[in-house]
């Protein structure tokens, strides 16, 4: 058994560090072996060591520019590099353009190799070329119709395009081939979450965490309370200024008071209804998992919830009592809610 085959066997049981050690031993004997270099790049990438992975992929391409696999791995490494700061978006565009060149070179070198089309689909999806990505994924499937990886790639493309039905069909086909596939189960839970099938999504995530604790960060189970906060931010960012505007109009034209109070009650009730739709089926599990978040994120979520509840209560209070200062106070608490969103994402 070669060093590459031993490393692949170890990686297959998620012993990535041991697989890396095996590859490095092989590279001592064959330092310019393109298969070992590409395999090392993939192992480093899977361990989150992106810069080292790209360096290994560069070496693989330099050693064997005529092999499709080396270009595939380099394209994958370019895709997984961390996003550039917002003030330098051109760097990210240049990187995806370079990944696209690598993917197209992989296809040119071996047009009958499904993984080449798969990485091309992933790169095109990252560049928001949905039609091109879909075509590349389907080309990969035409070469290997039962490929779980290609079916899941197509599912991701359809999900990002907003075609959840097509995405679910592709995931179902993948799970028919490999019922326990963790990536497929994760995608199903994600699609359920996007359709607010809260109970089904949490059940899937809980089972996935139990079966593959190394594959799923259990903090993903906090999505109902964090996702709901995101919904509150969007809803209240639009609703509170509207109520405040109508309140100002009511000070000048008293006939507007009824409209201002009605708007306040409507916004509050919509937020309450939305919250109950998510929180009731979610139960206590997301709140228990909240303690597993980093301290900064946990503090931001808790502060956000206090601000959200206060904002809704102030709007409801204004709708009932017509006290003019309440919408202004709601604007302050809504601003706090929006501020916590940045800390939650960090």
34 domain-assigned: yes
Q: Of 23-37, 95-109, 154-168, 200-214, give the lowest mean pLDDT range.
A: 200-214
19 domain-assigned: yes
pLDDT at 39: 94
Mean pLDDT of the chain: 91
Q: What percentage of residues in the chain have a pLDDT greater than 90? A: 75
Tens digit of pLDDT for each residue in 40-76?
999 999 998 999 999 999 999 999 999 999 999 999 9
95 domain-assigned: no
pLDDT at 328: 93
**Angle formed at CA 195 by CA 192 and CA 198, multiple of 5 degrees:** 55
pLDDT at 346: 46
Pair 252, 338 in one domain: yes
Pair 142, 232 in one domain: no
Kindly tell me if the per-residue pLDDT of 85 is higher than 60.
no
Domain endpoint, select from 162, 194, 216: 216
241 domain-assigned: yes
pLDDT at 89: 53
pLDDT at 277: 94
Pair 57, 156 in one domain: no
Spatial neighbors of 158 by CB under 8 A, at least 6 apart, are 134, 164, 166, 167, 170
pLDDT at 343: 65
More confident: 142 or 342:
142
Segment 187-213 mean pLDDT: 90
Distance CA 270, CA 265 (A): 8
Distance CA 169, CA 45 (A): 29
Domain endpoint, select from 186, 216, 246: 216
53 in Cβ contact with 31 (< 8 Å)? no
List b or e across 174-199, with b for residues whose CB sees 16 or more CB atoms inside 10 angstroms. bbeebeebebbbbbbbbbbbeebbbe
Tens digit of pLDDT for each residue in 90-132?
566 888 999 999 999 999 999 999 999 999 999 999 999 999 9
Segment 313-336 mean pLDDT: 94
327 in Cβ contact with 247 (< 8 Å)? yes
100 domain-assigned: no
Q: Which residue's structure tokens are 């034209």?
A: 253
Kindly tell me if the per-residue pLDDT of 220 is higher than 90.
no
Pair 340, 229 in one domain: yes
Q: Which domain holds residue 201?
A: 112-216
318 domain-assigned: yes
DSSP codes of every residue in 19-37: HHHHHHHHHHH-TT-HHHH
When divided into structural domains, the chain yields a total of 3
Kindly tell me if the per-residue pLDDT of 155 is higher than 80.
yes
Domain endpoint, select from 170, 197, 216: 216
Pair 235, 341 in one domain: yes
**Cβ neighbours of 294 (radius 10 Å):** 10
118 domain-assigned: yes
Pair 202, 239 in one domain: no
Distance CA 45, CA 39 (A): 10
Pair 226, 341 in one domain: yes
Pair 126, 225 in one domain: no
Pair 118, 174 in one domain: yes
Contacts 24+ apart (CB under 8 A), 136-144: 140/114, 140/115, 140/116, 141/114, 143/112, 143/113, 143/114, 143/117, 144/114
106 domain-assigned: no
Distance CA 234, CA 275 (A): 13
Pair 328, 235 in one domain: yes
Distance CA 215, CA 296 (A): 24
Pair 76, 117 in one domain: no
Give 88's pLDDT tier (boundaries 50, 70, 90). Answer: very low
**Cβ neighbours of 335 (radius 10 Å):** 14
pLDDT at 84: 54
Tens digit of pLDDT for each residue in 222-263?
999 999 999 999 999 999 999 999 999 998 999 999 999 999
Segment 135-151 mean pLDDT: 96
How far from 113 is each of 23, 63, 65, CA to CA, in Å? 24, 20, 16
User: What CATH number does residue 151 fall under?
Assistant: 1.25.40.10
Pair 233, 314 in one domain: yes
Tens digit of pLDDT for each residue in 256-265?
999 999 999 9
């Amino acid at each position: 058994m070669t060093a590459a085959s031993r490393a692949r066997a170890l990686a297959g049981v998620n012993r990535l560090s041991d697989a890396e050690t095996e590859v490095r031993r092989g590279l001592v004997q064959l330092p310019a072996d393109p298969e070992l270099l590409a395999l090392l790049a993939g192992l480093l990438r899977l361990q989150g060591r992106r810069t080292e992975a790209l360096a290994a992929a560069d070496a693989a391409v330099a050693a064997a520019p005529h092999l499709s696999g080396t270009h595939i791995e380099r394209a994958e490494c370019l895709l997984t590099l961390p996003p550039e700061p917002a003030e330098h978006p051109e760097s990210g565009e240049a990187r995806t353009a370079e990944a696209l060149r690598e993917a197209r070179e992989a296809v040119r070198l071996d047009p009958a190799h499904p993984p080449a089309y798969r990485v091309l689909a992933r790169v095109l999806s990252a560049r928001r070329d949905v039609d091109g990505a879909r075509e590349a994924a389907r080309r990969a499937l035409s070469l290997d119709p039962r490929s779980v990886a290609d079916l899941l790639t197509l599912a991701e493309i359809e999900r990002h395009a907003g075609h959840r039905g097509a995405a679910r069909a592709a995931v179902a086909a993948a799970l028919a081939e490999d019922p326990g596939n963790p990536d497929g189960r994760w995608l199903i839970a994600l699609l359920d979450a996007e359709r607010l099938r809260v109970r089904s999504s949490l059940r899937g995530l809980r089972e996935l965490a139990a079966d593959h604790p190394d594959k799923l960060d259990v903090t993903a189970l906090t999505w109902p309370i964090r996702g709901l906060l995101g919904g509150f931010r969007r809803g209240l960012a639009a609703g509170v200024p509207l109520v405040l505007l109508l309140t100002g109009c009511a000070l000048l034209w008293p006939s507007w008071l009824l409209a201002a109070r009605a708007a306040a009650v409507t916004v509050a009730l919509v937020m309450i209804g939305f919250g109950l739709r998510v929180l009731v089926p979610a139960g206590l599990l997301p709140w228990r998992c909240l303690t597993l978040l980093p301290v900064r994120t946990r503090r931001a979520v808790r502060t956000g919830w206090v601000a959200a509840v206060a904002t809704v209560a102030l709007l409801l209070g204004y709708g009932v009592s017509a006290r003019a200062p309440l919408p202004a106070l709601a604007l302050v608490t809504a601003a706090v809610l929006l501020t916590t969103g940045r800390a939650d994402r960090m």
